[in-house]
Amino acid sequence: MCQLYPTGWLKQLEGLLMAHPGESGIVYCLSKRKTEDTVEWLNDQGIRALAYHAGQHRGLLPGDGAGGAQRPAG
């Protein structure tokens, strides 16, 4: 696990993506806004990403069982 810090976090994230091409991962953000901004940036880079945050209703998660995101258990 790698912690990203506010200063240079985007460069650190880019470095992790380059070091682990094609791998899955989880990026933790401290706010809903930062989560959504990060997902938008990742998608703009051609990396499929989905946001999930505490204020989101679980029924809104996309997922069709064919490679999409799955609804968390519980």
The answer to the question of residue 7 being in a domain is: no
- Whether 9 and 3 have beta carbons less than 8 Å apart is answered as no
The answer to the question of residue 46 being in a domain is: yes
The answer to the question of residue 62 being in a domain is: no
Query: Lowest-pLDDT range, 17-21, 48-52, 61-65, 68-72?
Result: 68-72
pLDDT digits (tens, 9 = 90+) for 9-56: 888 888 888 999 889 888 888 888 888 888 998 999 899 999 887 766
pTM: 0.61
Domain that holds residue 48: 26-53
Let me know how long the chain is.
Answer: 74
The answer to the question of residue 2 being in a domain is: no
The answer to the question of residue 45 being in a domain is: yes
The answer to the question of residue 30 being in a domain is: yes
Count of domains for the chain: 1
The answer to the question of residue 17 being in a domain is: no
